[in-house]
Structure 1
Amino acid sequence: MKHITTAAFTVAVLTLAFALAWAGAGSANHSHDDLYAAVEPGDSTKSVRVVQITMGEADGKMFFTPSKVDVKLGEQINFALRNAGELDHEFVPASTADNQKHAEAMMKHPNMEHDDPNAKKLAPKKADEIIWKFSKAGEFEFACLIPGHRESGMVGTVTVK
Protein backbone atom coordinates (compact mmCIF):
# COMPACT_ATOMS: atom_id res chain seq x y z
CA MET A 1 0.00 0.00 0.00
CA LYS A 2 2.84 2.38 0.85
CA HIS A 3 4.46 1.81 -2.57
CA ILE A 4 1.23 2.64 -4.39
CA THR A 5 0.80 5.83 -2.39
CA THR A 6 4.42 6.88 -2.99
CA ALA A 7 4.17 6.09 -6.70
CA ALA A 8 0.88 7.97 -7.03
CA PHE A 9 2.33 10.95 -5.16
CA THR A 10 5.43 10.97 -7.40
CA VAL A 11 3.33 10.84 -10.56
CA ALA A 12 1.11 13.66 -9.27
CA VAL A 13 4.10 15.86 -8.38
CA LEU A 14 5.81 15.27 -11.73
CA THR A 15 2.57 15.93 -13.62
CA LEU A 16 2.01 19.18 -11.72
CA ALA A 17 5.62 20.30 -12.25
CA PHE A 18 5.41 19.59 -15.99
CA ALA A 19 2.06 21.38 -16.29
CA LEU A 20 3.33 24.45 -14.44
CA ALA A 21 6.52 24.61 -16.52
CA TRP A 22 4.59 24.19 -19.78
CA ALA A 23 1.92 26.72 -18.83
CA GLY A 24 4.54 29.19 -17.68
CA ALA A 25 6.47 28.95 -20.92
CA GLY A 26 3.32 29.16 -23.00
CA SER A 27 1.60 32.02 -21.26
CA ALA A 28 4.72 34.11 -20.81
CA ASN A 29 5.83 33.65 -24.40
CA HIS A 30 2.52 33.82 -26.23
CA SER A 31 1.98 37.53 -25.64
CA HIS A 32 1.44 39.34 -28.89
CA ASP A 33 0.29 42.67 -27.44
CA ASP A 34 2.22 44.79 -29.97
CA LEU A 35 0.74 42.87 -32.88
CA TYR A 36 -2.80 42.69 -31.57
CA ALA A 37 -2.81 46.42 -30.88
CA ALA A 38 -2.14 46.83 -34.61
CA VAL A 39 -4.30 44.13 -36.22
CA GLU A 40 -7.71 42.64 -35.82
CA PRO A 41 -9.32 39.57 -37.34
CA GLY A 42 -10.30 40.23 -40.93
CA ASP A 43 -13.79 39.99 -42.37
CA SER A 44 -13.83 37.73 -45.42
CA THR A 45 -17.11 39.31 -46.60
CA LYS A 46 -15.31 42.64 -47.16
CA SER A 47 -12.63 43.63 -49.65
CA VAL A 48 -9.48 41.59 -49.10
CA ARG A 49 -6.12 41.60 -50.88
CA VAL A 50 -4.64 38.11 -51.20
CA VAL A 51 -0.92 37.71 -50.51
CA GLN A 52 0.45 34.25 -51.24
CA ILE A 53 3.15 33.22 -48.75
CA THR A 54 5.12 30.11 -49.68
CA MET A 55 7.20 28.30 -47.07
CA GLY A 56 9.97 25.89 -47.83
CA GLU A 57 13.59 24.90 -47.70
CA ALA A 58 16.39 24.63 -50.28
CA ASP A 59 20.19 24.70 -50.34
CA GLY A 60 20.45 24.49 -46.54
CA LYS A 61 18.20 27.52 -46.00
CA MET A 62 14.57 27.88 -45.02
CA PHE A 63 12.41 30.67 -46.36
CA PHE A 64 9.18 32.57 -46.79
CA THR A 65 8.45 33.91 -50.27
CA PRO A 66 7.89 36.81 -50.22
CA SER A 67 9.71 37.71 -47.02
CA LYS A 68 8.54 41.34 -47.11
CA VAL A 69 4.97 42.60 -47.44
CA ASP A 70 3.85 46.24 -47.59
CA VAL A 71 0.35 47.03 -46.35
CA LYS A 72 -1.76 50.18 -46.29
CA LEU A 73 -3.19 51.28 -42.97
CA GLY A 74 -6.72 49.85 -42.66
CA GLU A 75 -6.15 47.26 -45.39
CA GLN A 76 -7.29 43.65 -45.04
CA ILE A 77 -4.88 40.95 -46.15
CA ASN A 78 -5.64 37.29 -46.72
CA PHE A 79 -2.32 35.55 -46.17
CA ALA A 80 -2.75 32.44 -48.33
CA LEU A 81 -0.15 30.11 -46.81
CA ARG A 82 1.37 27.18 -48.67
CA ASN A 83 4.07 24.84 -47.42
CA ALA A 84 5.97 23.77 -50.53
CA GLY A 85 8.71 22.15 -48.46
CA GLU A 86 9.44 18.69 -47.14
CA LEU A 87 9.28 19.72 -43.44
CA ASP A 88 6.59 21.18 -41.16
CA HIS A 89 6.69 24.99 -41.05
CA GLU A 90 4.85 27.73 -39.13
CA PHE A 91 3.60 31.24 -39.79
CA VAL A 92 3.70 33.06 -36.44
CA PRO A 93 3.02 36.81 -36.38
CA ALA A 94 4.32 39.02 -33.57
CA SER A 95 6.77 41.73 -32.72
CA THR A 96 10.42 40.72 -33.21
CA ALA A 97 10.97 40.72 -29.43
CA ASP A 98 7.96 38.46 -28.82
CA ASN A 99 9.02 36.03 -31.56
CA GLN A 100 12.56 35.86 -30.18
CA LYS A 101 11.24 35.06 -26.68
CA HIS A 102 8.83 32.53 -28.15
CA ALA A 103 11.63 30.93 -30.21
CA GLU A 104 13.70 30.49 -27.02
CA ALA A 105 10.74 28.77 -25.34
CA MET A 106 10.32 26.53 -28.41
CA MET A 107 14.00 25.48 -28.12
CA LYS A 108 13.29 24.31 -24.55
CA HIS A 109 9.91 22.76 -25.47
CA PRO A 110 10.19 21.72 -29.17
CA ASN A 111 6.81 19.94 -29.15
CA MET A 112 4.93 23.01 -27.90
CA GLU A 113 1.69 23.54 -29.80
CA HIS A 114 0.37 27.03 -30.43
CA ASP A 115 -3.04 27.95 -29.05
CA ASP A 116 -3.39 30.98 -31.28
CA PRO A 117 -5.82 31.36 -34.18
CA ASN A 118 -3.37 33.71 -35.92
CA ALA A 119 -0.48 31.24 -35.90
CA LYS A 120 -0.57 28.38 -38.37
CA LYS A 121 1.54 25.23 -38.52
CA LEU A 122 1.48 23.47 -41.87
CA ALA A 123 2.57 19.97 -42.78
CA PRO A 124 4.46 19.54 -46.07
CA LYS A 125 2.38 20.27 -49.19
CA LYS A 126 -0.52 21.70 -47.11
CA ALA A 127 -2.21 25.12 -47.30
CA ASP A 128 -4.21 27.40 -45.00
CA GLU A 129 -4.99 31.09 -44.63
CA ILE A 130 -5.17 33.95 -42.14
CA ILE A 131 -7.08 37.19 -42.73
CA TRP A 132 -5.88 40.30 -40.90
CA LYS A 133 -6.98 43.92 -40.93
CA PHE A 134 -4.10 46.28 -40.12
CA SER A 135 -5.23 49.14 -37.89
CA LYS A 136 -1.87 50.59 -36.78
CA ALA A 137 1.21 51.68 -38.71
CA GLY A 138 4.52 49.98 -37.97
CA GLU A 139 6.68 46.99 -38.75
CA PHE A 140 5.71 43.50 -37.64
CA GLU A 141 7.27 40.11 -38.10
CA PHE A 142 6.21 36.67 -39.17
CA ALA A 143 8.48 33.73 -38.48
CA CYS A 144 8.70 29.97 -38.23
CA LEU A 145 9.52 29.18 -34.61
CA ILE A 146 10.16 25.47 -35.00
CA PRO A 147 13.65 25.08 -33.48
CA GLY A 148 16.32 25.94 -36.05
CA HIS A 149 13.95 27.30 -38.71
CA ARG A 150 14.09 31.00 -37.78
CA GLU A 151 17.87 30.71 -37.53
CA SER A 152 17.92 29.20 -41.04
CA GLY A 153 16.15 32.21 -42.56
CA MET A 154 12.43 31.72 -41.91
CA VAL A 155 11.55 35.27 -40.91
CA GLY A 156 9.70 38.02 -42.76
CA THR A 157 8.30 41.50 -42.19
CA VAL A 158 5.02 43.29 -42.72
CA THR A 159 5.35 47.07 -43.01
CA VAL A 160 2.12 49.01 -42.47
CA LYS A 161 2.09 52.60 -43.81
Structure 2
Amino acid sequence: MQSRRHFLATSLFATGSLFAGRAALAHGEATRSGARPATVSNEQKDWGVAGDPREASRTVPILITNGMRFSPDRIEVRLGETIRFVHRNVDDVLHEMVIGTKWALHEHAELMTKFPGMEHDAPWMTHVAPGGMSEIIWTFNRPGRFEFACLIPGHYQAGMIGTIIVSQA
Protein backbone atom coordinates (compact mmCIF):
# COMPACT_ATOMS: atom_id res chain seq x y z
CA MET A 1 0.00 0.00 0.00
CA GLN A 2 2.83 2.38 0.88
CA SER A 3 4.46 1.88 -2.54
CA ARG A 4 1.12 2.49 -4.28
CA ARG A 5 0.70 5.79 -2.44
CA HIS A 6 4.25 6.76 -3.36
CA PHE A 7 3.57 5.83 -7.00
CA LEU A 8 0.36 7.88 -7.08
CA ALA A 9 1.97 10.88 -5.41
CA THR A 10 4.94 10.69 -7.79
CA SER A 11 2.64 10.30 -10.81
CA LEU A 12 0.51 13.25 -9.79
CA PHE A 13 3.54 15.45 -9.20
CA ALA A 14 5.07 14.45 -12.53
CA THR A 15 1.89 15.35 -14.43
CA GLY A 16 1.64 18.75 -12.76
CA SER A 17 -1.70 17.81 -11.29
CA LEU A 18 -3.46 20.26 -9.05
CA PHE A 19 -3.60 17.57 -6.36
CA ALA A 20 0.14 17.02 -5.85
CA GLY A 21 1.38 17.53 -2.32
CA ARG A 22 -2.07 17.51 -0.66
CA ALA A 23 -3.25 15.47 2.27
CA ALA A 24 -5.38 12.71 0.84
CA LEU A 25 -8.37 10.52 1.45
CA ALA A 26 -9.40 7.66 -0.79
CA HIS A 27 -12.38 7.33 -3.08
CA GLY A 28 -13.40 4.47 -0.81
CA GLU A 29 -15.32 4.03 2.39
CA ALA A 30 -13.44 6.79 4.25
CA THR A 31 -14.88 9.53 2.04
CA ARG A 32 -18.41 8.25 1.51
CA SER A 33 -19.71 10.32 4.41
CA GLY A 34 -18.67 13.50 2.64
CA ALA A 35 -16.82 14.60 5.79
CA ARG A 36 -14.18 17.28 5.32
CA PRO A 37 -10.67 16.72 6.61
CA ALA A 38 -9.71 18.37 9.92
CA THR A 39 -7.48 20.87 8.09
CA VAL A 40 -8.87 22.62 5.03
CA SER A 41 -6.58 24.39 2.59
CA ASN A 42 -7.44 28.01 1.85
CA GLU A 43 -5.28 27.95 -1.26
CA GLN A 44 -6.46 30.39 -3.93
CA LYS A 45 -7.64 28.60 -7.08
CA ASP A 46 -8.70 30.09 -10.40
CA TRP A 47 -12.31 29.38 -9.38
CA GLY A 48 -12.09 30.77 -5.82
CA VAL A 49 -11.14 29.70 -2.31
CA ALA A 50 -12.54 27.49 0.45
CA GLY A 51 -15.36 29.34 2.20
CA ASP A 52 -16.02 29.96 5.87
CA PRO A 53 -19.35 28.34 6.84
CA ARG A 54 -20.23 31.43 8.91
CA GLU A 55 -19.96 33.61 5.80
CA ALA A 56 -22.20 31.55 3.50
CA SER A 57 -24.67 33.98 1.97
CA ARG A 58 -26.95 31.27 0.61
CA THR A 59 -27.45 27.55 0.28
CA VAL A 60 -27.76 25.91 -3.13
CA PRO A 61 -29.26 22.41 -3.00
CA ILE A 62 -27.84 20.02 -5.63
CA LEU A 63 -29.75 16.85 -6.45
CA ILE A 64 -27.62 14.05 -7.88
CA THR A 65 -29.83 11.72 -9.92
CA ASN A 66 -29.59 8.18 -11.20
CA GLY A 67 -29.52 9.62 -14.73
CA MET A 68 -25.92 10.78 -14.11
CA ARG A 69 -27.06 14.38 -13.79
CA PHE A 70 -26.95 17.31 -11.38
CA SER A 71 -30.06 19.40 -10.76
CA PRO A 72 -29.64 22.25 -11.21
CA ASP A 73 -26.85 22.00 -13.76
CA ARG A 74 -26.39 25.78 -14.08
CA ILE A 75 -25.79 28.09 -11.13
CA GLU A 76 -25.34 31.86 -11.14
CA VAL A 77 -23.22 33.44 -8.41
CA ARG A 78 -22.23 37.03 -7.58
CA LEU A 79 -18.53 37.83 -7.33
CA GLY A 80 -17.43 37.51 -3.69
CA GLU A 81 -20.38 35.31 -2.71
CA THR A 82 -19.83 32.33 -0.40
CA ILE A 83 -22.11 29.45 -1.32
CA ARG A 84 -23.01 26.37 0.71
CA PHE A 85 -23.69 23.60 -1.82
CA VAL A 86 -25.74 20.82 -0.20
CA HIS A 87 -25.67 17.63 -2.28
CA ARG A 88 -28.24 14.86 -2.04
CA ASN A 89 -27.50 11.65 -3.95
CA VAL A 90 -30.71 9.80 -4.86
CA ASP A 91 -28.75 7.29 -6.94
CA ASP A 92 -27.60 3.86 -5.75
CA VAL A 93 -23.91 4.50 -6.62
CA LEU A 94 -21.21 6.79 -5.25
CA HIS A 95 -20.93 10.20 -6.92
CA GLU A 96 -18.85 13.29 -6.32
CA MET A 97 -18.96 16.98 -7.06
CA VAL A 98 -15.74 18.73 -8.01
CA ILE A 99 -15.59 22.46 -8.82
CA GLY A 100 -12.95 23.83 -11.19
CA THR A 101 -12.07 25.18 -14.58
CA LYS A 102 -12.92 23.08 -17.60
CA TRP A 103 -9.22 22.26 -18.04
CA ALA A 104 -8.68 21.29 -14.36
CA LEU A 105 -11.72 19.00 -14.40
CA HIS A 106 -10.64 17.40 -17.66
CA GLU A 107 -7.14 16.75 -16.25
CA HIS A 108 -8.58 15.25 -13.05
CA ALA A 109 -11.01 13.08 -15.05
CA GLU A 110 -8.12 11.66 -17.11
CA LEU A 111 -6.20 10.84 -13.93
CA MET A 112 -9.28 9.20 -12.40
CA THR A 113 -9.55 6.97 -15.48
CA LYS A 114 -5.91 5.91 -15.13
CA PHE A 115 -6.03 5.59 -11.33
CA PRO A 116 -9.67 4.88 -10.32
CA GLY A 117 -8.71 4.33 -6.67
CA MET A 118 -6.64 7.52 -6.62
CA GLU A 119 -6.32 9.14 -3.20
CA HIS A 120 -7.16 12.84 -2.82
CA ASP A 121 -9.38 15.33 -1.11
CA ALA A 122 -9.71 19.07 -1.33
CA PRO A 123 -12.23 21.70 -0.24
CA TRP A 124 -13.57 22.09 -3.81
CA MET A 125 -14.65 18.44 -4.00
CA THR A 126 -16.88 16.08 -2.07
CA HIS A 127 -18.05 12.50 -2.33
CA VAL A 128 -21.71 11.66 -1.86
CA ALA A 129 -22.64 8.12 -0.86
CA PRO A 130 -25.70 6.43 -2.36
CA GLY A 131 -28.71 7.94 -0.61
CA GLY A 132 -26.38 10.32 1.26
CA MET A 133 -25.75 14.01 1.64
CA SER A 134 -22.63 16.17 1.65
CA GLU A 135 -21.61 19.80 1.23
CA ILE A 136 -19.02 22.16 -0.17
CA ILE A 137 -18.63 25.73 1.08
CA TRP A 138 -16.88 27.85 -1.52
CA THR A 139 -16.15 31.56 -1.98
CA PHE A 140 -16.22 32.71 -5.60
CA ASN A 141 -13.74 35.59 -5.55
CA ARG A 142 -12.90 35.47 -9.25
CA PRO A 143 -15.35 36.20 -12.08
CA GLY A 144 -15.80 33.75 -14.93
CA ARG A 145 -17.37 30.58 -16.17
CA PHE A 146 -16.51 27.49 -14.15
CA GLU A 147 -17.75 23.93 -14.06
CA PHE A 148 -18.61 21.24 -11.59
CA ALA A 149 -18.61 17.56 -12.39
CA CYS A 150 -18.60 14.01 -11.11
CA LEU A 151 -15.17 12.69 -12.08
CA ILE A 152 -15.67 9.07 -11.09
CA PRO A 153 -14.66 7.09 -14.20
CA GLY A 154 -17.50 6.97 -16.70
CA HIS A 155 -19.63 9.64 -14.99
CA TYR A 156 -17.86 12.69 -16.46
CA GLN A 157 -17.77 10.97 -19.85
CA ALA A 158 -21.54 10.39 -19.56
CA GLY A 159 -22.07 14.15 -19.24
CA MET A 160 -22.32 14.56 -15.47
CA ILE A 161 -21.24 18.21 -15.68
CA GLY A 162 -22.70 21.57 -14.62
CA THR A 163 -21.82 25.24 -15.06
CA ILE A 164 -21.22 28.02 -12.53
CA ILE A 165 -21.31 31.60 -13.83
CA VAL A 166 -19.66 34.14 -11.51
CA SER A 167 -20.59 37.70 -12.46
CA GLN A 168 -19.67 41.14 -11.13
CA ALA A 169 -23.28 42.09 -10.39
Query: By the TM > 0.5 criterion, same fold?
Result: yes
Change (3 A) 1:47 1:89: closer
1:123 and 2:129 correspond: yes
CA distance in 1 between counterparts of 2:54 and 2:105 reads 30
2:93 corresponds in structure 1 to 87
Q: Determine if contact 2:149/2:162 at 8 Å carries over to the other structure.
A: yes
CA distance in 2 between counterparts of 1:100 and 1:155 reads 11
Is the partner of 1:124 in helix, strand or coil? coil
Q: Determine if contact 2:94/2:130 at 8 Å carries over to the other structure.
A: yes
CA shift, 1:108, in A, is: 0.8
Change (3 A) 1:26 1:132: same
CA shift, 1:74, in A, is: 1.1
Change (3 A) 1:21 1:89: same
Change (3 A) 1:25 1:94: farther
CA distance in 1 between counterparts of 2:54 and 2:5 reads 40
1:152 to 146, 158, 168: 158
Is the partner of 2:55 in helix, strand or coil? coil
Structure 1: gaps of 5 or more residues = 1-13
AA of the residue aligned to 1:144:
C
CA deviation map 1:90-148 (0-9, x unaligned): 00111111111111111111111322122101110111111111111101111111000
1:30 and 2:18 correspond: yes
Structure 2: gaps of 5 or more residues = 21-43
Q: Determine if contact 1:56/1:84 at 8 Å carries over to the other structure.
A: yes
Q: Determine if contact 2:49/2:139 at 8 Å carries over to the other structure.
A: yes
Q: Determine if contact 1:56/1:89 at 8 Å carries over to the other structure.
A: no
Is the partner of 2:53 in helix, strand or coil? coil
Query: Percent same amino acid among aligned pairs?
Result: 38
CA shift, 1:29, in A, is: 2.5
- Of Structure 1 and Structure 2, which has the larger fraction of its residues in helix? 1
1:106 corresponds in structure 2 to 112
AA of the residue aligned to 1:30:
L
Alpha-carbon RMSD: 2.1
AA of the residue aligned to 1:99:
L
1:50 and 2:54 correspond: no
Aligned residues: 142
CA distance in 2 between counterparts of 1:135 and 1:31 reads 21
Is the partner of 1:146 in helix, strand or coil? coil
CA distance in 2 between counterparts of 1:151 and 1:51 reads 25
